[in-house]
Amino acid sequence: MNISKLNSILNDVEKPTRYTGGELNMRVKDLNMPDGTPRFRFALCFPDVYEIGMSHLGQRIVYNILNEREDTYCERVYAPWFDMEQALRDNDLPIYTLETKTPVGEFDIVGFSLLYEMCYTNILTVLDLAGIPLRAADRSESDPLIIAGGPCVCNPEPIADIMDVLVFGDGEEVMDELMDAYSEWKKSGTSKKELLRRLSRVSGLYVPSFYKAEYDENGNFSSLNGIEPDAPEKVERRIVKNLDAAKYTGKLVVPYMSIVHDRVALEVFRGCTRGCRFCQAGFIYRPIREREVETVIKQADDSLDCTGYDEISVFSLSSGDYSHIHELVPIILERYEKDRVSVSLPSLRIDSFLKDDLEKIQKVRKTGLTFAPEAGTQRLRDVINKGVSEEDLLRSVHDAFVAGWHGVKLYFMIGLPTETDEDVLGIAELARKVSREFYSMPKELRGKGLRCTVSASTLVPKPFTPFQWEPQISVDEVLRRQALLRGALKGIRGVEFSCHFSETSRLEAAFARGDRRLSEVLISAYKNGARLDSWDEHFKKEAWENAFAENGLTVEQFANRKIGLDEPLAWGHMDAVVSMDYLKREHERACAALITHDCRKGCNGCFGARSAQICGKKEGTK
């Protein structure tokens, strides 16, 4: 790497701190082990800008796990902003890691985090800037192994032609197994094909090139067939059974610039028992596994000591469902009171009884409160199995207002199956009741004016949910329902409206439910100039429209098509452990607006015949 040339371009780009490294707690290792053996070089890439990637807990965990290995040096790389990408190209410089400024193309393994489908073109940006062929089939023996993990691996097919290997499920244990297999392969001196064979035998690892997709006369996906003896029929999701003993983040790298979540994140449990039918995370992170309070406190101590942060986020899919939440919050507040460390509770259930905890939290510093009713009427909340009522919401916001809060966010979705205009207007009616709840309080108690943000995103049907067979509503219908809601919210005191851009939701649905043909669409869109697609102001609709047209496909055939319950699914070879029979049963119950109870109250048998093996319970037991 030409460091002097690099330093000169950093003077001219926006936010150069994104590209400098050298942060507190950044891992520094020799490139060779004490015996002189070279360490394996692993470039861990988050395919979005630095301030988003540095906030991601999963990346922090993997970074620590890999660097705890004696034989591995893991370094970080993030997708560059437009100006930095152009500067690298203009100066004939490759993309590089922050730790050692080594070109990414020189690493043994490049690993990507797949959290969001609209970051896929950023993967191609990194590969292109690294001089690595975009398609796996075009790479040589000397090119790095390209792998990826994260929730998008639930349906890996749209990027199957780009990735060498994909990691399905929890990464804490499988990353060590992957590196062990890589180490043994290195000693063998055999071909990369042999490496892929070895990796395909590791539970949770998927090698796309070992399979071939077939399509019917209508152009719909029909089957995925193994073409190598080592290709398993199903790739089973990895599950860390003992989360309390699992490796965590170690010393957090502290950025020199503000990042999206600039605080200590404490994951108190993983999984969810509620069964909201739209929520992919609620199904693919089952079963629920908790950390002990003592473990969480130790992680808090270690993280605060090595960073100097003054805020802790109690992190999970639903913080209020942690069985020790009322024990944990007071301990943290009392333990760090002298240091003015605050606690935030994202992802609160609106039926969580947290009044006392909220009062304790606001004594240190008021942090944001977010509630997610998801739907505007009780009928539709039953369809999605939300399991909460209007009374739950009004009680929760009342408790927050009494405790001193005046700012809340309410999350909803539009485009849920069976949704009507009455359901959309119900969102506005709920917001009106929240406003009344605030302004009915005595003026001396409510303090500042209400700031209630109503956010309405568009449903993206996701794999391994009961709604995976449902179509996304059309763009015109999204815009019509958004306009209906915007008009209904107008004039409600203290309420403002925020909605998600429908074009990106449309593409997200296509890639969430798409098949292997979308790899070529993705490459075409990238060559047409698509970059950083999740940033609405930089989204290039024409680049994507042309990409689909060039490949004889449309967004609608993936995003807006209702899939038959007995049709083959492009992701059918991935085994998320939650059974397809259970998801079909939940789909039928959704159509009938029937609630399925929280599985803490009795096992619903979501793992089918494996329920007793995985969570120690038989269907119908408590």
Q: What is the pLDDT of residues 475-499, one digit of tens each?
A: 999 999 999 999 999 999 999 999 8
**Which domains, from first to last, does the chain contain?**
3-236 (3.40.50.280), 263-367 (3.30.750.210)
Tell me which of 346 and 484 has the higher pLDDT.
484
Q: Quick check: 349 pLDDT over 60?
A: no
| Element at 358 (helix H, strand E) | helix 355-364
* Distance separating alpha carbons of residues 359 and 404, to the nearest angstrom: 8
Number of Cβ within 10 Å of residue 182's Cβ equals 20
* Distance separating alpha carbons of residues 107 and 43, to the nearest angstrom: 6
| Choice among 9-13, 59-63, 293-297, 318-322 with the minimum mean pLDDT | 318-322
Residues 6 or more apart whose Cβ sits within 8 Å of residue 301? none
C-alpha 208, offset from chain centre: 22
Please state, rounded to an integer, the average pLDDT across all residues of the chain: 92
In 3D space, the residue among 497, 422, 508 whose CA is nearest the CA of residue 453 turns out to be 497
Residues 6 or more apart whose Cβ sits within 8 Å of residue 34? none
pLDDT value at residue 319: 77
Q: Tokens at residue 39, please?
A: 């360490």
3-state class of 355 per DSSP? helix
Where does the pLDDT of residue 352 fall: very low under 50, low under 70, confident under 90, or very high at 90 and above?
Answer: low
pLDDT value at residue 360: 56
In 3D space, the residue among 601, 585, 596, 588 whose CA is nearest the CA of residue 381 turns out to be 596
Q: What is the mean pLDDT of residues 287-296?
A: 95
| Choice among 160-164, 181-185, 310-314 with the minimum mean pLDDT | 310-314
pLDDT in tens, 528-547: 999 999 998 899 999 999 99
User: ω into residue 287 within 30 of 0, thus cis?
Assistant: yes
pLDDT value at residue 106: 98
Q: Tokens at residue 284, please?
A: 């693919």
* Distance separating alpha carbons of residues 256 and 208, to the nearest angstrom: 39
Q: Are the C-beta atoms of 484 and 499 separated by less than 8 Å?
A: no
Q: Quick check: 620 pLDDT over 80?
A: no
pLDDT value at residue 318: 80
Residues 6 or more apart whose Cβ sits within 8 Å of residue 193? none
pLDDT in tens, 174-194: 999 999 999 999 999 999 999
Residues 6 or more apart whose Cβ sits within 8 Å of residue 486? 497, 499
Residues 6 or more apart whose Cβ sits within 8 Å of residue 476? none
Where does the pLDDT of residue 359 fall: very low under 50, low under 70, confident under 90, or very high at 90 and above?
Answer: low
pLDDT value at residue 601: 86
* Distance separating alpha carbons of residues 559 and 496, to the nearest angstrom: 29
* Distance separating alpha carbons of residues 98 and 104, to the nearest angstrom: 10
Q: Quick check: 372 pLDDT over 90?
A: no
pLDDT in tens, 570-602: 999 999 999 999 999 999 999 999 999 988 888
Where does the pLDDT of residue 365 fall: very low under 50, low under 70, confident under 90, or very high at 90 and above?
Answer: very low
Q: Quick check: 201 pLDDT over 70?
A: yes
Tell me which of 22 and 357 has the higher pLDDT.
22
Q: What are phi and psi of 58, to 5 degrees?
A: -60, -40
* Distance separating alpha carbons of residues 213 and 221, to the nearest angstrom: 8
Where does the pLDDT of residue 363 fall: very low under 50, low under 70, confident under 90, or very high at 90 and above?
Answer: low
Q: What is the mean pLDDT of residues 78-100?
A: 97
pLDDT value at residue 501: 75
Q: Quick check: 613 pLDDT over 50?
A: yes
pLDDT in tens, 375-416: 999 999 999 999 889 998 899 888 888 888 888 899 999 999
| Partners of 96 in the β-ladder | 103
Number of Cβ within 10 Å of residue 187's Cβ equals 7
Q: Are the C-beta atoms of 368 and 406 separated by less than 8 Å?
A: no
Number of Cβ within 10 Å of residue 256's Cβ equals 12
| Choice among 89-93, 282-286, 367-371, 429-433 with the minimum mean pLDDT | 367-371
Where does the pLDDT of residue 369 fall: very low under 50, low under 70, confident under 90, or very high at 90 and above?
Answer: confident
pLDDT value at residue 230: 85
pLDDT value at residue 264: 92
Letter string b/e over residues 429-461, b meaning 16 or more CB atoms within 10 A of that residue's CB: ebbbebbebbeeeeeeebeeebebbbbbbbbbb
Letter string b/e over residues 499-522, b meaning 16 or more CB atoms within 10 A of that residue's CB: bbebbbbbbbbbbbbbbbbbbbbb
* Distance separating alpha carbons of residues 343 and 330, to the nearest angstrom: 10
Residues 6 or more apart whose Cβ sits within 8 Å of residue 219? 557
Q: Quick check: 616 pLDDT over 70?
A: no
Q: Are the C-beta atoms of 21 and 99 separated by less than 8 Å?
A: yes
Q: Cα angle vertex 479, ends 477, 480, to 5°?
A: 65
Where does the pLDDT of residue 338 fall: very low under 50, low under 70, confident under 90, or very high at 90 and above?
Answer: confident
pLDDT value at residue 536: 85
Q: Quick check: 621 pLDDT over 50?
A: no
pLDDT value at residue 218: 85
pLDDT value at residue 446: 77
Distances 79 to 63, 83, 121 between C-alpha atoms, Å: 17, 11, 10
pLDDT value at residue 355: 56
Q: Are the C-beta atoms of 503 and 545 separated by less than 8 Å?
A: no
Share of the chain above pLDDT 70, in %: 95
Contacts 24+ apart (CB under 8 A), 368-372: 368/344, 368/407, 368/409, 369/345, 369/400, 369/405, 369/407, 369/408, 369/409, 370/346, 370/408, 370/409, 370/410, 370/411, 371/396, 371/397, 371/408, 371/409, 371/410, 371/411, 372/347, 372/410, 372/411, 372/412
3-state class of 354 per DSSP? coil
Residue holding tokens 């053996």?
A: 37
The DSSP output letter for 391 is H
Q: Are the C-beta atoms of 77 and 126 separated by less than 8 Å?
A: yes
